[in-house]
A and B are shown apart, each in its own frame.
Chain A
């Protein structure tokens, strides 16, 4: 039986979260074991995919007062603040690291099962599957549809039926490790301009706690059970370890550097 260690981590700012995930990847490489961080953001923050043009974000009107950070992973922009974010780090050689799709499905399928158990019409989006919304290269993550995304029926009628993407992911594949980011949208961010808003899981019929921790916990328990893994919920914040904190401090500079944020 493998082990799966999860940190239900403290909220932090964008650069700190990205630096912590970089350390998570390094730790997974060292331990040869998948590791997970679940976390929130201590203030509303826009995260851009690794190569999304900053000019496009500006033309769409980056939300005044929101933080801005660029992820090492790909994918579309996300307005954080009403979501729960996860980072899963998987060492090379592990079965989940073999292709992007394998890891997306491994992490996202247990959420589908949890949502279905709560009465939601939820599924993984498949290429060519029914969808009235979403294009592959939209600027915003939640406007895109890719295989492995989690979508739920909004209950509205139409052909094809309307759905809402509530969980999307993006990966960074490096020598020795894969890190996958994902964002579970709990509620629409009403502080954002309309173009930046998307309905969350709590907006389409699911009763959840404000912080969504109950749902995230049930999801991760299913994740571990599906993989027959022994699950370790880590009690201390990920960066409370002095060695990890030192590593994260070294990585922070890059994520705070405007040259990184404006690299494209």
Chain B
């Protein structure tokens, strides 16, 4: 898995791109926990979001879950094909299963998020 991924405690990952943008998705752990996805609502392109703000919703057979902006910024693209191919989240959560691209207000904010080992430890602890 790419070393540059960072994670929020709410199970989103974020990866800086070469063009100054950042790609956001949800972790494999979160996808597995949700099970049987049936619907997804994406944010509008152009929306300004704050870190920790809900930017969309995913419905599984048993629950609706919010997903959150890991950092503040502007939504510049969404994976519009994803709601019609939700199985992609399970097959490739860190690649084709990306959800949005953000233009972070401050790219340095990503450094304050969890590293992969720290996120794995959080999941293992059950304190999330």
B63–A146 CB distance below 8 A:
no
A51–B52 CB distance below 8 A:
no
**A6 close to chain B: CB less than 8 A:** no
Q: Which of the candidate stretches B20-28, B64-72, B84-92, B101-109 sits at the interface with the other chain?
A: B64-72
User: Across the two chains, which residue of chain B brings its CB closest to A100?
Assistant: B62
Rounded to whole Å, the gap between the CB of B11 and the closest CB of chain A is: 10
B66–A174 CB distance below 8 A:
yes
A146–B61 CB distance below 8 A:
yes
**Chain B residues positioned under 8 Å from A51 (CB to CB):** 38-39, 41, 57, 59, 64
Q: How many residues of B contact A (CB 8 A)?
A: 22
**Chain B residues positioned under 8 Å from A101 (CB to CB):** 62
Which residues A170-205 have CB closer than 8 A to chain B?
Answer: 170-175, 178
B63–A172 CB distance below 8 A:
yes
Cα distance, A137 to B61, chains bound together (Å): 8
B64–A175 CB distance below 8 A:
no
B52–A100 CB distance below 8 A:
no
Which residues A38-66 have CB closer than 8 A to chain B?
Answer: 49-51
B68–A175 CB distance below 8 A:
yes
**A72 close to chain B: CB less than 8 A:** yes
**Chain A residues positioned under 8 Å from B127 (CB to CB):** 93
Cα distance, A93 to B122, chains bound together (Å): 11
User: Chain A interface mostly helix, strand, loop or mixed?
Assistant: loop
Which residues A63-94 have CB closer than 8 A to chain B?
Answer: 72-74, 92-93
B68–A173 CB distance below 8 A:
no
Which residues A185-239 have CB closer than 8 A to chain B?
Answer: none
B59–A146 CB distance below 8 A:
no
Known: A92-B128, A137-B38. Contact between A74 and B62, CB under 8 A? Answer: yes
B64–A98 CB distance below 8 A:
no
Rounded to whole Å, the gap between the CB of B3 and the closest CB of chain A is: 26
**Chain B residues positioned under 8 Å from A137 (CB to CB):** 38, 61
**Chain A residues positioned under 8 Å from B65 (CB to CB):** 172-174
Cα distance, A54 to B13, chains bound together (Å): 33
**A116 close to chain B: CB less than 8 A:** no
**B54 close to chain A: CB less than 8 A:** yes
User: Across the two chains, which residue of chain B brings its CB closest to A173?
Assistant: B65
B126–A170 CB distance below 8 A:
no
**B115 close to chain A: CB less than 8 A:** no
27 residue pairs of the A-B complex, CB under 8 angstroms, read A49-B59, A50-B57, A51-B41, A51-B59, A72-B64, A73-B63, A73-B64, A74-B59, A74-B63, A93-B127, A95-B126, A98-B126, A100-B35, A104-B62, A137-B38, A137-B61, A146-B61, A146-B62, A148-B62, A170-B63, A170-B64, A172-B63, A173-B66, A174-B66, A175-B52, A175-B66, A175-B68
20 additional contacts, CB 8 Å, given A137-B38, A171-B62, A172-B63?
A50-B57, A51-B39, A51-B41, A73-B63, A73-B64, A74-B61, A74-B64, A100-B35, A100-B60, A100-B62, A136-B36, A136-B61, A137-B61, A146-B62, A147-B62, A170-B64, A173-B64, A173-B66, A174-B54, A175-B10
Q: Which 4 A-B pairs have the closest CB atoms?
A: A171-B63, A100-B62, A74-B64, A173-B65
B-binding residues in A (CB < 8 A): 49-51, 72-74, 92-93, 95, 98-101, 104, 136-137, 146-148, 170-175, 178
